[in-house]
Amino acid sequence: MPRQSMNFNIEIMSILDANGKLDDKLMPDISEHHIKSMYEAMVLARILDDRLLKLQREGRSGTYASSLGQEATQVGSAFALRDEDWMFPYFREAGAHIVRKFPLANYMLYWMGDERGMKIPENINNFTICIPVSTQILHAVGAAFAMKHKKKPNAVLVYLGDGATSKGDFHEGMNFAGVFNLPVVFMCQNNQYAISVPVERQTASRTLAQKAIAYGFPGIKVDGNDIFAVFAAAQEALQRARSGKGPTFIECFTYRMGDHTTSDDASRYRTAQELEEWKRKDPIERLRKYMESKGLWNADYESVIRQDFEERIEQAVKEAESKPQQAIEDMFSYTYAAMPQNLKEQLKEAKGD
């Protein structure tokens, strides 16, 4: 039988177009101060991203996953979180970490291969970076279940890529969240490729957002390069979660302008023309045009914040690289509450005792 196309009437939500023009009817209530803070977080995320790419090429950092072009999905959604809410990242959330005030030096230390970088400060409700695709979804749903059990009026925001929707963890997490009506928001950064596999080779669904329908809760699709649309969708979904109305799935339609990681070459599976088309939708340029039209941006302002950010990042690099070397015992000490005999023997051998 021929494949049938089902229309669930899921449209893409957009507020700020590529030219910086605003749909006033949909614009959420955001102060000028917060608009500038959003812009600054995106610019800082891009400068951080570029610095980590260069560090990797210099052999001073490990494999790195760029967030180039996806800053609005991360910053816009993280701005909708409260401090008491929890954030569960995967491995491409530089902007969200910045909004959540995660120390830059820790973030760099982690990508330099030092797990101490993921020691989360006690006043920040973030989970650690998750490299295995989709496993963070189950952790987030478990945390949301605990919140509901303890009657906490907070919410969980979990990030995932389009590739994660092809994994079993995604469907198990979505099903559990729907059945138990949990306070969790699934924030999917649909950047068009799971490494080299395009979305149309991952699913026959017209949208990723419609997958939520099968699990009994709303699915929303937004322009992921429109920071106001992302913020508005995340704010509404998080409030829905906090008020006991259950989960929401948000598909942010965006684009990964860089390689999947520093070990990838995206030119092997996508065209230069496609990349150029998406560059014209750059989320930072879009917001900058809007701010300029409102008198919130000028070249002097840009110069000042960029100099400040570059200095902060260089300081973070120095701090990360000056971290004392880890003790060899650290490889053995944190797996079990009491170290078993076989690990004791391995530790003794590793130390040359």
Which residues are known catalytic residues? 256, 260, 269
Question: Cβ(225)–Cβ(71) under 8 Å?
Answer: no
**Can you tell me the distance from the alpha carbon of 285 to that of 245, in angstroms, rounded to the nearest whole number?**
36
**Can you tell me the distance from the alpha carbon of 350 to that of 38, in angstroms, rounded to the nearest whole number?**
48
Question: Cβ(251)–Cβ(220) under 8 Å?
Answer: yes
Residue type, 95: G
Q: What angle do the packed helices 71-78 and 32-57 form, to 10 degrees?
A: 130
Q: DSSP for 70-88, please give it.
A: -HHHHHHHHTT--TTSEEE
**Can you tell me the distance from the alpha carbon of 125 to that of 130, in angstroms, rounded to the nearest whole number?**
15
User: Which position has the token pair 């302002």?
Assistant: 301
**Can you tell me the distance from the alpha carbon of 325 to that of 172, in angstroms, rounded to the nearest whole number?**
40
**Can you tell me the distance from the alpha carbon of 16 to that of 34, in angstroms, rounded to the nearest whole number?**
16
**Can you tell me the distance from the alpha carbon of 144 to that of 336, in angstroms, rounded to the nearest whole number?**
26
**Can you tell me the distance from the alpha carbon of 146 to that of 10, in angstroms, rounded to the nearest whole number?**
31
**Can you tell me the distance from the alpha carbon of 29 to that of 228, in angstroms, rounded to the nearest whole number?**
10
For residue 181, give every residue at least 6 positions away whose Cβ sits within 8 Å of its Cβ, in sequence order, or none. 148, 244, 245, 246, 247
